[in-house]
Amino acid sequence: MKKKALIAKTREEYDQFINQNLFNQMVAARIAELAQEPNPAFIEANADVGNFLGGLDAFTVTVVAKPGQLEKSFVSVWKLIQQVKQFGFTATEFERAKANYLSFLASALRDKDKSNSQELVEEYARNFITGESAPGIQAEYNLAVAHFKTATLSDINALDRVYISDSNRDVVIMAADKDSMSLPGRITVNHWMDSVAELKLSPYQDQVVNESLLSSILPAGKVTDEKKIPELGITTLTLSNGLKLILKPTDFKNDEIRFHGFSPGGSSLYADSDYESASNAANIVENSGLAHFKPTDFQKLLSGKRVSVGPYVAERSEGIRGESTPKDLETALQLVYLYFTSPRKDSTIFQNIIDQSVTEIANRYSDPENVFADTVAAVLGDHSIRRTGPSLEKLREINLDKSLAIYKERFANAGDFTFVFDGNFSVDSIRPLLEKYLGSLPSSPVKEEARDLNIHIPKGNIEAVARKGKEPKASVRLVISGDYQYNPENNIQLTALSEILQFRVLDRLREKEGETYSPTVRVTFNKYPANRYAFTVKFGCAPENVEKLIADVKDEINKLKTEGVTAMDITKFATEEERQYELHLKENQFWLEWLSAQFQNGEDLDAILKYPDLIKEVTPDSVKAAANLYLNKNNFIKLVLMPESGK
């Protein structure tokens, strides 16, 4: 449903922009609730007002229907939209939306002196191109505060009839070729809409949640050991329940704290027959709510707060990742406590997840890239059942009770966990919160280790071709892998070799040959479960050019092995690596990942300080030697996606 674009050039237009944002928030929350009902007819639904094209905005309602349920899914969402149009929103919805909007602006304001350059450039560009005002975050915050003193719910509800219109409306239906004969036409779709208009709808009832996340006082633990690493600005603590903490206060962002807790084990500890239940356990729990709170309850409980917390069960570990503002850290830690102690079982949500997955699998293999991705994963995973693509048979192996039992088992022992925190806090200020919420988690003296499943990229020269799709295009993956000795010295040589090969492949395939747009080279290396590395060269091209471009890549590899690299190659690599190093040292996310990985690998935390010296060890001779050692032509895997017809 299209209308003239809103460009916020004046105070009044900025007020309209704020109201539009509130409208979008409240519609999204309604749809999220609808998706949690038993057996929703749609896989996914969205609705919002946003920029369209040609000086137009559009209120766009998107529905992804389950097979055979197009009418039902369309009507269910259209009823919600008409309910909004007829009755508007409630006062409690309005208050939550305002709180969320102000919280977002307040957080940006606290970080105004640490703004990302890209965000500023984009704002200046919009100002130049469209005339959109760029008053700065302080002015925007002040404008929002002033607006909310006079804005009323009726102002927002008046927009319902502006955005939800019978004019300037288009309905676009996209489907697979096989469904083309059964798709409805204009008359049918208009009949669906008219039938909803004739219904006697009831106003939305907002189930307000005013409870505290935790209903009881926790038996807080105590710090039993404290150490400092002054050169890194790090403090390590051990709590009385055995949980370890790595704390790095920073001033990179004024309004950001990030954390990652992890423990060894993961799905590796379970048999193949339980793998699907184990690998899906955290996703099921995260989507089911906590304690007696439904997922939609959290949207209401956390309004006005900037908190994100979620668990995971990976192959070799389980853990929780999260972030918050300093003022909302206690809320984030309460959620961590609940994820450890109070996962919620919801059979309806579980069945919705399974039903959605069934539909996604039914449509998955109409996309050639999905076929290729599964082929790549299966070959590189040596066809382990844990590496092959999703299937209906695998979905049937997921058992709700088994998943919940595995999840509880993985998070039963906090004494086997380590948490890394970084961001804007002091050790003294965060310590009581950590003692209260993490120190009170249940624990035992048991220590686990992940199991080596012996799933590695197979040795030898292997070729596989997947055929899917009708477009005349091909995708190529070339993989060279093997064993090696994991250490900082070898790792930097692998990194340098990958970057320099990227320079060469990009220049050869794109600049000289002009046959592909985006060739990439990346290297991965792991200490556990075994010291292994893998180079992957990836590019797309016309089917008739596949073999020629693969030959070009092999030629560049041979040149690295025989002719070596130039001093200019080394300078280019070192300059970019040093620049990235300097940038990373000022990013909370980098430190979180670095400290987590170093601890999990049993490596020195202060190794980052020695990285500039490692870069200096990269020379033409060292890279040539690495090329001959690691770019092994005897372990070369060629994987190609080709269209269904042709050579």
pLDDT per residue as tens digits for the range 156-208: 999 888 899 888 899 999 988 888 888 999 999 999 999 998 999 999 999 88
Burial of 563 (0-12, 13-18, 19+ CB in 10 A): exposed
Asked if the model's pLDDT at residue 516 lies above 90, the reply is no
What pLDDT is recorded for position 428? 96
User: What's phi and psi for 398, nearest 5 deg?
Assistant: -80, 120
- The domain limits of the chain are 2-197, 223-437, 462-642
Name, in order, each residue with C-beta under 8 angstroms of 508's C-beta and a sequence gap of 6 or more. 552, 553, 555, 556
Asked if the model's pLDDT at residue 213 lies above 70, the reply is yes
Distance CA 319, CA 334 (A): 15
What pLDDT is recorded for position 485? 97
> Quick one: which of 198, 209, 252 has its CA closest to 78?
198
> Quick one: which of 223, 263, 217, 227 has its CA closest to 444?
263
What pLDDT is recorded for position 322? 97
User: Amino acid identity, residue 494?
Assistant: L
What pLDDT is recorded for position 509? 86
DSSP 321: E
> Quick one: which of 551, 543, 509 has its CA closest to 636?
551
User: Amino acid identity, residue 491?
Assistant: N
2-197 shares its CATH topology with 462-642: yes
User: Amino acid identity, residue 447?
Assistant: K
> Quick one: which of 286, 16, 333, 515 has its CA closest to 322?
333
Asked if the model's pLDDT at residue 315 lies above 90, the reply is yes
Mean pLDDT of 437-444: 96
Residue 342, number of CB atoms within 10 A of its CB: 15
Q: How far is CA 72 from the centre of its chain?
A: 31
DSSP 302: T
Kindly report the average pLDDT of the chain as a whole number: 94
**DSSP state string for 92-138:** HHHHHHHHHHHHHHHHHHHTGGG--HHHHHHHHHHHHHH------HH
Asked if the model's pLDDT at residue 15 lies above 80, the reply is yes
> Cis ω on the peptide bond leading into residue 311 (within 30° of 0)?
no
User: What's phi and psi for 527, nearest 5 deg?
Assistant: -90, -40
What pLDDT is recorded for position 26? 96
Q: How far is CA 534 from the centre of its chain?
A: 24
Asked if the model's pLDDT at residue 115 lies above 90, the reply is no
Q: How many CA atoms lie within 13 A of 388 on its CB side?
A: 11
Distance CA 380, CA 639 (A): 10
Q: Pick the range with the lowest mean pLDDT from 164-168, 337-341, 411-415, 524-528.
A: 164-168
Which CATH number applies to 462-642?
3.30.830.10
What pLDDT is recorded for position 191? 95
Token pair of 356 as six digits: 């959605």
Name, in order, each residue with C-beta under 8 angstroms of 579's C-beta and a sequence gap of 6 or more. none
262 three-class SS: strand
Asked if the model's pLDDT at residue 380 lies above 70, the reply is yes
Mean pLDDT of 233-246: 97
What pLDDT is recorded for position 360? 86
List the alpha helices (DSSP H) in 274-399: 275-279, 281-286, 295-301, 329-341, 347-364, 368-380, 392-396
What pLDDT is recorded for position 167? 84
Q: How far is CA 270 from CA 267, 284, 392, in A?
A: 6, 17, 21
Q: How confident is the model at residue 647 (pLDDT cuts 50, 70, 90)?
A: low
| Coarse DSSP helix, strand, coil percentages of the chain, rounded to the nearest 5 percent | 50, 20, 30
> Quick one: which of 167, 196, 169 has its CA closest to 71?
196
Asked if the model's pLDDT at residue 646 lies above 70, the reply is no
CATH class assigned to 2-197: alpha beta
What pLDDT is recorded for position 117? 87
Q: Pick the range with the lowest mean pLDDT from 355-369, 446-460, 476-490, 538-552.
A: 355-369
Asked if the model's pLDDT at residue 488 lies above 90, the reply is yes
What pLDDT is recorded for position 96? 95
Q: Per residue, what are the HEC states of 211-225? A: CCCCCCCCCCCCEEE
Q: At what angle do helices 488-505 and 620-630 cross, to 10 degrees?
A: 90
Topology annotation, domain 223-437: Cytochrome Bc1 Complex; Chain A, domain 1 (3.30.830)
Residues 256-311: tens digit of each pLDDT: 999 999 999 999 999 999 999 999 999 999 999 999 999 989 889 999 999 999 99
Residues 129-168: tens digit of each pLDDT: 888 999 999 999 999 999 999 999 999 999 888 899 888 8
Residue 133, number of CB atoms within 10 A of its CB: 20
DSSP 171: -
Residues 316-369: tens digit of each pLDDT: 999 999 999 999 999 999 999 999 999 999 999 999 999 889 988 988 888 999
Q: How confident is the model at residue 397 (pLDDT cuts 50, 70, 90)?
A: very high
